[in-house]
Structure 1
Amino acid sequence: MAYDITVNGTTHHVDVDGDTPLLWVLRDVLAMTGTKFGCGAGLCGACTVQLDGVATRSCITRVDSLGDAAVTTIEAVGATAAGASVQKAWLEGQVPQCGYCQSGQIMSASALLARNPDPTDAEIDVAMAGNICRCGTYPRIRAAIRAAARSNAKGD
């Protein structure tokens, strides 16, 4: 079947089965490899993208379920205010260790800050609970989210 999907502001015509996970459309059809495969069951968060600004696991999101939703991936999240501040805080805080999970972490963190510019630690924990970091950089992740929120508040 053919589907028109909007990814990072561009409409793409893809010819895939409707049950194809969005992750594989992004990686294999559109050659956007920033979104990572982790578990394939929506449990680890490595494949997180945003659908209309909401953090979503692309490995369990069927392409036929997208409708008119706008997909944002790690390749374009830096064009948003929340995404740019998160990416900057990630670099300044030296968050990544191995880096594999970081695109998903950044997508979840930027979705959080876009809807809640000053989250509490508890709200950060809830928003990031679906993102696993095998390296255990959780304290740096939380610190970077807090730094990005402060930066946004100052207008940096």
Structure 2
Amino acid sequence: MTRRRLWDRYMGTHHADAGAVPLPTQELRHALLALNGTGVPFGVREAGGGKAHLLAEWRVLEPAWGSGINRRQVERTFKVWIRLLPEEREVRAVDEQWAVTRAGPPPGRIVQREGGRGPIRTVQTRRTLERGPDGRRKWVESFRLDTRDMKDPLRKTVVGAGWTWRGALRL
């Protein structure tokens, strides 16, 4: 496998099917903005200047854990900055993730911040041990977060429109 193909695979590049007729730029833009009303856990909006044309953003507030002064709660923000390149029929996408950990009985004091850019794949689950109706204890999933729930609908919309989805480190 060539270096370019390895890099494309790492960055999450997906090409449209051979022979697919690409939609015009404005139709693709409207299709991406139309994802807002389809029950996806994120929102897509105009980026408002800069190099990106659109911004998909997902804010997640994880359930708190601990008690008293040791109580912690994490707020995560996932962003995908999208730039449409009509000459190449290509969409460049930069992933960005931020996490803020708050502490205290009502979580308010910020104790940690972290963030970064690049290809992001986050999967988190939290399970609790509960007693079922038959009296047996079993693990029940109480929280699940998977960034594929955000990126897959965006990617499918772009590739379905006959364009290429190319992951990037910067626009």
Structure with greater strand percent? 2
TM-score, structure 1 as length reference: 0.23
TM-score, structure 2 as length reference: 0.22
Bigger radius of gyration, 1 or 2?
2
Structure with greater helix percent? 1
More relative contact order in 1 or in 2 (CA 8 Å, sep 6+)? 2
